[in-house]
Amino acid sequence: MTDSATSRQQALQRRDSEFDVLVIGGGIVGAGVARDAALRGLRIALVEQADFASGTSSRSSRLLHGGLRYLEQGEIALVREASKEKMLLSRLAPHLSQPLPFVFPSWNGSGRPLWKLAVGTQLYELICGGWNPRLASIWSAKRLLAEIPGLRREDLGGGVRYLDALTNDARLVIDTLRSAHQGGALLLNYVRFESSDRSGGKWHCSVRDVLSEKTLELRAKTVVNAAGAWASGLPHSRVRLRLTKGAHIVADRSRLPVPAAVVLSQGDRILFVIPWGERVILGTTDTEYTGDPSDVRTEASDVEYILEVVNSAFPRIGLTRADLISSWAGVRPLIAPETNSTEAPSDISRKHEIRVAEPGWIDVAGGKLTTYRLMAEQVVDQLGNFLDAKLPRSRTATTPILALADRSFSGVLPPPLAADVVRRCCRDEWAIHLDDILLRRTSWHFYHSNQSEIARTVAPWMADELGWDAAQTQGELERYFRTAEFIAP
Ligand code: FAD
């Protein structure tokens, strides 16, 4: 049995555990809270109902960004805050922050004229102070056509260039959790929070091990609800969310050989063409979502919309569904506006909210991948009001996030397909199912077109490591194929 499997079992068998804080949700926000609290010396446990990062935090556009678009909405403080965090992360986790130039073309009559983009990018750099590298420039139509092959020539007025960064969302969660674990945090995936009561100054929380179907109680002085799109459904929660869905598709970069990310404007919305090694990520959509967050998937209409926008900007490439290597869709847990507003999904604020719902119970919701460290710091500061001892200050802005010693397996691109990588995911990164590795620890499922072959290669490696027999191995393959089929458009 692997180290992480042994410690999971031991933790679940212990009945005497009492924690300073129990975090519900193993996405980027929960992971950030776990790391911050552990670095301040708190006794912390985190429960995640499925795999770590299996919610929204493995389904983003994978950008660390201030959010140029939010300037249009007057969200200057948000852009400033996110830009500062973006630059901090580039120092704390350089393996997960790859500088990425963006080119934003403007076609005459498109609604975002060149002067507006030029003012926007200058402002973007200005309000970010020294945090954003000063690289913004204005490009003529001629230069754009020379630098971005295949771009629609007709009515092209020019464009702007600026800089943000590419990350790997799921790896950011895993490496943040590894850092929390190093600081003593107990991290349990496939354990669902079910209910809790407060008595004697403590929260008595009932959690269910999804793998064994056993229920156990964890006691904690405080609880943090970091359940993302699920946060409003938890008992005691006072979170009010408005959910919107975003889908991405992945194609081979040879079909769209862009040297930089390209921003395509479509009405209020914008869509990115993001170079990702030998692939390009195309997205995202932004539509109202009212279903169960666990059921979100890319629909055929999402694919059609993305292809239409991309083909209109690059008329000669003729991208079709046959070019799709993979896709993913996620739900944005946005804070619902106070009044019953009819704001378009892309206009809803990306701000976060931290609220004390009951003594010792803190809800945190909204925000962005980019701002998770700050959100976590603010949450743990609030926890201090419910703990006996004075809390030390947060150390997360100065303590690096753990990278792997093997540099081939860290960073924004998937690692090479090799047995030792798998082994490591099981031993040190809490991988339990085949899809934990293919979809989240490595992104192999999203990057490669021969997914079935890869699954059949990796399953025996995991079987060796985790002691699966032939039936279990087959069961894991079937589980993965079901998941892959469900998320495919
Ligand atoms: P999640 O990652 O969803 O984590 C919550 C977790 O709680 C889930 O894993 C869930 O399983 C778990 N949970 C729920 N209920 C329970 C329970 N009862 N017990 C135990 N666990 C439970 N941000 C950026 O900065 N850059 C981007 O490029 C970007 N692009 C985006 C693109 C799209 C399409 C979307 C949807 C979002 C994007 N975002 C981006 C936003 C960012 O991804 C989210 O803000 C962030 O991932 C939310 O993290 P979270 O931890 O709050 O939620």
Q: pLDDT (tens digit, 9 = 90+) per residue, 393-432?
A: 999 999 999 998 776 655 899 999 999 999 999 999 999 9
Q: Is 227 in the pocket of ligand 1 (CB under 6 A)?
A: yes
132 shares a domain with 122: yes
pLDDT of residue 134: 66
CATH number for the domain that contains residue 297? 3.30.9.10
Distances (CA, A) of 250 to 59, 164, 327, 484: 12, 20, 6, 14
For residues 199 and 38, is the Cβ–Cβ distance under 8 A? no
Using the 3D structure, point to which of 339, 369, 399 is the last residue of a domain.
Answer: 339
Burial (CB count <10 Å: 0-12, 13-18, 19+), residue 337: middle
6: preceding bond cis by omega (within 30 degrees): no
Share of the chain above pLDDT 90, in %: 82
pLDDT of residue 25: 98
Note down the domain range covering 47. Answer: 3-57+170-240+347-387
148 shares a domain with 262: yes
In a domain, 74, yes or no: no
Q: Is 369 in the pocket of ligand 1 (CB under 6 A)?
A: yes
Q: Which atom of ligand 1 is nearest to the CA of 366?
A: 45
359 shares a domain with 234: yes
Over range 157-166, report the average pLDDT. 95
Instruction: Express each pLDDT in 234-293 by its tens digit.
Output: 999 999 999 999 999 999 999 999 999 999 998 878 999 999 999 999 999 999 999 999
- The span from the CA of 334 to the CA of 330, in Å, is 12
Share of the chain above pLDDT 70, in %: 95
332 shares a domain with 262: yes
Over range 171-186, report the average pLDDT. 97
Residue 127 CB coordination number (10 Å): 16
Nearest one of 314, 268, 227, 211 to 48, comparing CA atoms: 227
pLDDT of residue 125: 86
Q: Is 57 in the pocket of ligand 1 (CB under 6 A)?
A: yes
pLDDT of residue 131: 64
In a domain, 80, yes or no: no
Instruction: Express each pLDDT in 315-328 by its tens digit.
Output: 999 999 999 999 99
Question: What is the Å distance from ligand 1's center to 53 Cα?
Answer: 7
Q: Is 66 in the pocket of ligand 1 (CB under 6 A)?
A: no
Please report which confidence band the pLDDT of residue 128 belongs to, taking 50, 70 and 90 as the band edges. confident
159: pLDDT strictly greater than 80: yes
pLDDT of residue 72: 84
pLDDT of residue 133: 64
Nearest one of 72, 301, 46, 389 to 193, comparing CA atoms: 46
Residue 488 CB coordination number (10 Å): 13
Question: What is the Å distance from ligand 1's center to 16 Cα?
Answer: 31
What are 10's strand-pairing partners?
A: none
- Identify each DSSP E strand in 211-316 by its residue range: 214-225, 241-252, 261-266, 269-276, 279-283, 287-288
Q: Is 246 in the pocket of ligand 1 (CB under 6 A)?
A: yes
The C-alpha angle 458, 28, 447, rounded to 5 degrees, equals 35
For residues 181 and 166, is the Cβ–Cβ distance under 8 A? no
Q: Which atom of ligand 1 is nearest to the CA of 229?
A: 3
Instruction: Express each pLDDT in 191-235 by its tens digit.
Output: 999 999 999 999 999 999 999 999 999 999 999 999 999 999 999
